[in-house]
Amino acid sequence: MIFRRFEWAPPSDLAKDLREWFGASAPEVDVGPIEAAVAEGGDAALLRLTARFDATESSPTALRVDLDQADDALDAADDDVAAALRLAVENVAAVARAQVDDSETVVELDQGQTVTTGEVPVASAGIYAPGGRASYPSSVVMGCVTARAAGVGRVVLATPPGPDGRIDATTLAAAALCGVDEIYAVGGAQAIFALARGSESIAPVDVIAGPGNDWVQAAKRKVFGEVGIDSLAGPSDLMVVVDRHTRPGPAALDLCAQAEHGSESPLVAVGPDDPTLDRLAAEVEAVAAREPSVKDCRLALVAAPEPELAIDLANAFAPEHLQLMDPGSAGLAPRVRTAGCVFTGPESGTAFGDYLAGSNHILPTGGTGRIFGPLSPATFRRKTARVSLSSEAAASLAGPLEVLAKAEGLPVHGLSARARAGHTEEDDDQAG
């Protein structure tokens, strides 16, 4: 575990310094060759890339996984694992369904026209779940359950196989519980390009969602605009705000839990003074020494003069997860504007959000919480609008519209409106 203390500075400057320190070793990735290979080679290229990057011991012969394999995996799953997956599905679905609003809003304006707005689900969604040497059935739940709650008709799962060429059994069991329509054993940037543009086996989708490494995020940037994406959900990060009364043991475990995602995960601890941070750092070091799942990570230590300034730093840094561990922290939470998810109080560890709390763990990372939010049904739904004008509304609006159209050099727009200005129901009868 590598520690570094940062002197207090204006929050925007300090957040920039933190991001630069954590991002100094981030690899520059070029997904162009993978993009070209998938475009030119289709399924054959996807299978070749899967054998190269994931299924290194047993090359797969097909991309699509029979749904019966998922059902069989669920039947064979350990009872406790199956029960935990069901609880995750139930809680995530309950929160997601509560966010869906199928009602329409009708606004009647003074000139006599109405504008009706509403939402409809997209037709298809591709959920990416990381896999390969590790598996993340929880990401299957977070993505697929939310897409289903949004009303998506076709939900597709793409996840890389392990070295043996097979998808992890618990991941398949989660897919069965979520009612996934199609499963493909393919990962990395190549999976994103296939979901966006299709191949012989994979029909393209409308929206792609799910976390992934730098290669996955680079591919999502490439296809954004061709398809919708949820956010840029890369390496996990966590900022913990503690006070002098915070128990350092649980706080250290919370930090180290996120370190399990990989050495590139940014970890920040903010406290009132150096002694408080020293105690926390010592606990983190002790956990890292005894837990082999905690890789070499970097922890930034920041002494904030007062709690309100810690919130200012959080808003500037935009952490994926923000833990406010003071028992009275709920009062500060409404001031948070950019964190992916906020956990308030000493008992609210980020790990609960990763699995069973009901919130979604697919969150914006790398500071992109300034523009993106958590995965929700809104990711898979699009706004609609309908406009209806009466003859009186057309007559009232035609003149001002013609003025604006001429100002923009688009005179036929004005003529189009003017053609309705004197239009009556009698004209319709005569035309009939």
283 is catalytic: no
Structure tokens at 69: 């394999």
What's residue 250's pLDDT?
Answer: 97
Residues of the chain above pLDDT 70, percent: 96
**Identity of the residue numbered 97:** R
pLDDT of residue 293: 87
Model pLDDT for residues 287-337, shown as the tens digit of each residue: 999 998 887 789 999 999 999 999 999 999 999 999 999 888 878 999 999
pTM of the model as a whole? 0.91
DSSP three-state, residue 268: strand
| Catalytic-labelled residue, pool 182, 283, 320, 402 | 320
Which has more confidence, 160 or 232?
Answer: 160
pLDDT at 295: 74
Residue 425: pLDDT band with limits 50, 70, 90? very low
pLDDT at residue 432 is higher than 70: no
For the stretch 114-128, pLDDT in tens is 999 999 999 999 999
Contacts of 299 (CB under 8 A, 6+ apart): 1, 2, 3, 4, 255, 267, 268, 269, 281, 284
Determine whether 202 is exposed, middle or buried from the number of CB atoms within 10 Å of its CB (0-12, 13-18, 19+): buried
Whether 106 has a pLDDT exceeding 50, the answer reads yes
Q: What are phi and psi of 120, to 5 degrees?
A: -135, 150
**In DSSP terms, which residues pair with 124 in a beta bridge?**
154
Under DSSP, the state recorded for 262 is -
Mean pLDDT, the chain, as a whole number?
93
Question: At 371, phi and psi to the nearest 5?
Answer: -125, -20
pLDDT (tens digit, 9 = 90+) per residue, 186-212? 999 999 999 999 999 999 999 999 999
| Whether the Cβ atoms of residue 158 and residue 191 lie closer than 8 Å to each other | yes
List Cβ neighbours of 67 (8 Å cut-off, separation of 6 or more): 176, 180, 182, 183
Are the C-beta atoms of residues 267 and 1 closer than 8 Å to each other? no
As a whole number, mean pLDDT of residues 354-367 equals: 94
- Residue 424 pLDDT > 50, yes or no? no
Residue 328: count other Cβ atoms within 10 Å of its Cβ: 11
Alpha carbon of 323 to those of 90, 278, 309, 329: distances in Å? Answer: 24, 18, 15, 9
pLDDT for res 373: 93
Tokens representing 12 are 């925007």
Please tell me the predicted confidence (pLDDT) of residue 92: 97
pLDDT for position 241: 97
DSSP secondary structure string for all residues of 20-65: HHHHTTPPP---HHHHHHHHHHHHHHHHHHHHHHT--SS--S-SEE
| pLDDT tens profile 251-272 | 999 999 999 988 888 999 999 9
Write down the pLDDT at residue 423: 53
* pLDDT confidence band for 427 (50 / 70 / 90): low
Regarding predicted confidence, which is higher, 23 or 54?
Answer: 54
Domains observed in the chain:
2-27+235-372 (3.40.50.1980), 37-103+122-230 (3.40.50.1980), 389-431 (no CATH)
The residue from 261, 321, 361, 402 that is catalytic is 321
User: Do 128 and 212 form a contact (C-beta atoms < 8 A)?
Assistant: yes
**Residue 429 and residue 432: Cα distance in Å, rounded?**
5
Q: Average of pLDDT values for 145-170?
A: 96
* CA dist., res. 234 & res. 242, Å (int): 25
Does residue 63 surpass a pLDDT of 80?
A: yes
Active site residue 306: no
Task: Please enumerate in sequence order all residues whose Cβ is within 8 A of that of 244, keeping only pairs 6 or more positions apart, or say none.
Answer: 272, 273, 276
Q: Is 181 exposed, middle or buried (0-12, 13-18, 19+ CB in 10 A)?
A: middle
| Confidence band of 430 (pLDDT split at 50, 70, 90) | low
